[in-house]
Amino acid sequence: MFVIFGASGKAGGVTAAILRKAGQSVRAVVRNTRQAEPLAAIGCETVTADLTDPGSVRAAIEGAHTVQVLCPVPTGVPDPESAMRKMIDVAADALCAAPPAHVLAISDYGAQLEAGTGITLLFHYLETRLAPLAGRLTLLRSAEHMQNWARVIPVALQNGAFPSLHQPLSKVFPTVSAHDVGSIAAELLLDAAQRSNQPRIVSVEGPRRVTVLDVARALSDVAGKNVKAFELPRGEWATAMRAAGLTESHARLITELHDAHNAGKIDIEAGMTERRFGTTTLPEVIASLLSAHGHAQAV
């Protein structure tokens, strides 16, 4: 039995679908019954679980041979850091108490760093808490998801410009499609290679690294409208994020992350990881995001 947490998400849903296509038994863990319907339609067993509730997490992994863990950064809560640490603690306690044969945790580029990385520091905590699983553990460190640019599309289409915290705009950084993360996760879950007594660390990014200028160019080409990016002054970041509805705590985590990104710290752990590359390009993801936004693509 393969248990997939976050199975209704962009990455987890792909993992679950590939496993089912391969003929595997899949238990899809979701937050509510509405999210379960499309997963049940492809033959998954579905269960609902509260990631902060030890009992429901233990029940979700009962009888599992393999578990994929995804702890999302909570939104709409006053202190997302504390909330995510609680989810990590609940998951780690359950998995370490009754270890499955294989656990794959979706982590983050830069998770090897011990301080000063904001949101990414929470994935360092995830890796640390799961470390006792040793050779049973695969850490899939993902570059920034291309789908995150969906947040700027309404502003970009309305104003012909969007603000960037990635600075300078010409800075090259790794990204990846969430679809490719889910696909490569499935490959790793199905990999029956002999394991060592150490965690397996795999880094995944897209076919090529990009700049914010590439994002603006892709938006312009696909939307048929000239779109430019501009550097949001560092002193205005907190105000802009608060205006977008983020709490002060959440804004701080994002600020610390982008400070680390802009300093070149968020990257693979050189010499310490396997590397995988997705095939989905940035323009392809931008096109799908614009379609989801209801914007007709340029012919």
175 DSSP β-pair partners: 144
| H helices present in 42-177, as ranges | 54-61, 80-97, 119-130, 153-159
Average pLDDT of the chain?
94
At 4 the pLDDT is 98
pLDDT per residue as tens digits for the range 115-128: 999 999 999 999 99
pLDDT per residue as tens digits for the range 96-114: 999 999 999 999 999 999 9
Would the pLDDT of 216 be above 60?
yes
Would the pLDDT of 3 be above 90?
yes
At 292 the pLDDT is 82
Q: Give the C-alpha separation, 175 to 50, whole Å.
A: 29
Q: Which H or E run includes 161?
A: strand 161-164
Confidence band of 75 (pLDDT split at 50, 70, 90): confident
Please report, for residues 26, 136, 190, the alpha-carbon distance to residue 43 in angstroms, rounded to integers and kept in the order given.
Answer: 8, 27, 18
pLDDT per residue as tens digits for the range 28-42: 999 888 899 999 999
Would the pLDDT of 295 be above 70?
no
At 254 the pLDDT is 96
Confidence band of 71 (pLDDT split at 50, 70, 90): confident
Please report, for residues 10, 165, 175, 215, 217, the alpha-carbon distance to residue 210 in angstroms, rounded to integers and kept in the order given.
Answer: 21, 14, 7, 8, 11
At 194 the pLDDT is 59
Would the pLDDT of 171 be above 90?
yes
Confidence band of 297 (pLDDT split at 50, 70, 90): low
Q: Give the C-alpha separation, 85 to 80, whole Å.
A: 8
Would the pLDDT of 200 be above 60?
yes
209 phi/psi in degrees, rounded to 5: -80, 155
How many CB atoms lie under 10 A from the CB of residue 169? Answer: 16
Residue-range domain boundaries for the chain? 2-143+176-205+267-278
Q: Give the C-alpha separation, 187 to 200, whole Å.
A: 14
At 273 the pLDDT is 79
Confidence band of 299 (pLDDT split at 50, 70, 90): very low
At 6 the pLDDT is 93
pLDDT per residue as tens digits for the range 247-283: 999 999 999 999 999 999 999 998 877 999 999 999 9
138 DSSP β-pair partners: 104, 200
At 99 the pLDDT is 95
| CATH classification number, 2-143+176-205+267-278, choose in 3.40.50.720, 3.40.1360.10, 3.40.50.300, 3.30.70.890 | 3.40.50.720
Nearest to 287 by CA among 219, 186, 198: 219
Q: Give the C-alpha separation, 224 to 221, whole Å.
A: 5
Nearest to 12 by CA among 139, 184, 217, 256: 184
